[in-house]
């Protein structure tokens, strides 16, 4: 276990959903956390990142920054999802190495895994099959950053550059605009609007049978803070997920139950649905001693409460 009193942590992406949930976690108060905004630290500019690291001298980096979005956004802007995430990843990793930072937590993505795999995906399956085309650019950037961490470790065994690979995340500070959001926040917005406008039905892309693993963002924040505290015990790569998934239909039904929407669902079979299933193996996570706390309904309830507060502002 690390001596918390001496740790200065640079958190990239502090204004994003994952970063803000980390900052909300009570354990973060035990650390000296640097949380620069994008105007204070431009992660797309290597010299800027290198100078910042050299000046601030963090003991650890948590790289949670990224350009993120749902299926529509990834299809619409594949170049930005590839280049921006690649530049942010490599600049942060290489600048940390140049500054002598020995401990690094890189956040990967379940998009790094092969498409159309029916069983739970283990950490050794990265680069073993074709990626899902609808978010390939984002996935490639995350894979390269992960491999860069591992290449550096192969050249310098004093480094501990590790990657946590979360399943899909939803929760407080999420993006709810369907043009930019992931599945769960998009459903929350659509179903809420349907209730307010008294619409008789809500459209679902595909037939609703595709399965997804979504974890409440507060749980991910808890896992990350536990990784900071017990860093030496964290594997080189480790999935962070639930170990079970739900169908798209399940997510719509749960959101409708929480919101109180009683209309019907209709299916548009012409729309893309992405991977049929994306489930992470959590064998390493269980061995490490961590399990997510929030049920789907409990997480949706907290997310909807946050959504309503945002609408009022």
Catalytic residues: 138
Q: Could you tell me if 256 and 191 are in contact, meaning their C-beta atoms sit under 8 angstroms apart?
A: yes
| Cα–Cα distance for residue pair 131/140, rounded to 1 Å | 8
Tell me, letter by letter, the H, E, C secondary structure of the chain. Answer: CCCHHHCEEEEECCCCHHHHHHHHCHHHHHCEEECCCCCCCCCCCHHHHHHHHHHHCCCEEEECCCCCCCHHHHHHCHHHHHHHHHHHHHHHHHHHHHCCCCEEEEECCHHHCCCCCCCCECHHHCCCCCCCHHHHHHHHHHHHHHHHHHHHHHHCCCCEEEEEEECEEECCCCCCCCCCCCHHHHHHHHHHHHHHCCCCEEEEECCCCCEECEEEHHHHHHHHHHHHHCHHHCCCEEEECCCCCEEHHHHHHHHHHHHCCCCEEEEECCCCCCCCEECECCHHHHHHCCCCCCCHHHHHHHHHHHHHHHHHC
Would you give the distance in Å from CA 308 to the centre of its chain? Answer: 23
Q: At what angle do helices 183-196 and 296-312 cross, to 10 degrees?
A: 60
Q: How far apart are CA 33 and CA 50, in angstroms?
A: 18
């Amino acid at each position: 276990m690390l001596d918390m009193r001496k740790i200065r942590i640079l958190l990239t992406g502090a204004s994003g959903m994952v970063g803000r949930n980390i900052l909300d976690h009570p354990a973060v108060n035990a650390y000296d956390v640097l949380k620069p905004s994008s105007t204070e630290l431009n992660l797309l500019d290597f010299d800027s990142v290198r100078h910042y690291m050299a000046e601030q001298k963090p003991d650890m980096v948590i790289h949670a920054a990224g350009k993120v979005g749902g299926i529509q956004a990834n299809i619409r802007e594949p170049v930005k999802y590839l280049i921006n995430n690649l530049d942010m990843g490599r600049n942060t990793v290489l600048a940390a190495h140049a500054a002598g930072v020995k401990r690094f937590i890189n956040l990967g993505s379940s998009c790094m895994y092969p498409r159309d795999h029916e069983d739970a995906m283990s950490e050794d399956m990265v680069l073993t099959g074709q990626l899902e085309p609808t978010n390939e650019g984002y996935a490639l950037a995350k894979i390269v950053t992960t491999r860069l961490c591992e290449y550096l470790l192969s050249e310098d065994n004093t480094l501990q550059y590790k990657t946590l690979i979360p399943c899909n995340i939803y929760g407080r500070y999420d993006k709810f605009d369907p043009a930019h959001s992931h599945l769960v926040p998009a459903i929350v917005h659509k179903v809420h609007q349907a209730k307010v406008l008294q619409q008789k039905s809500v459209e679902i892309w595909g037939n609703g049978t595709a399965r997804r693993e979504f974890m409440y963002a507060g749980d991910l924040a808890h896992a990350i803070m536990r990784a900071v505290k017990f860093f030496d015990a964290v594997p080189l790569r480790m999935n962070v997920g639930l170990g079970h998934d739900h169908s798209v239909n399940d997510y719509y039904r749960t959101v409708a139950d929480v919101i109180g929407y009683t209309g019907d669902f209709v299916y548009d079979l012409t729309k893309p649905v992405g991977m049929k299933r994306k489930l992470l193996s959590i064998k390493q996570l269980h061995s490490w001693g961590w399990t997510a706390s929030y049920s789907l309904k409990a997480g949706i309830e907290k997310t909807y409460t946050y959504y309503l507060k945002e609408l009022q502002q």
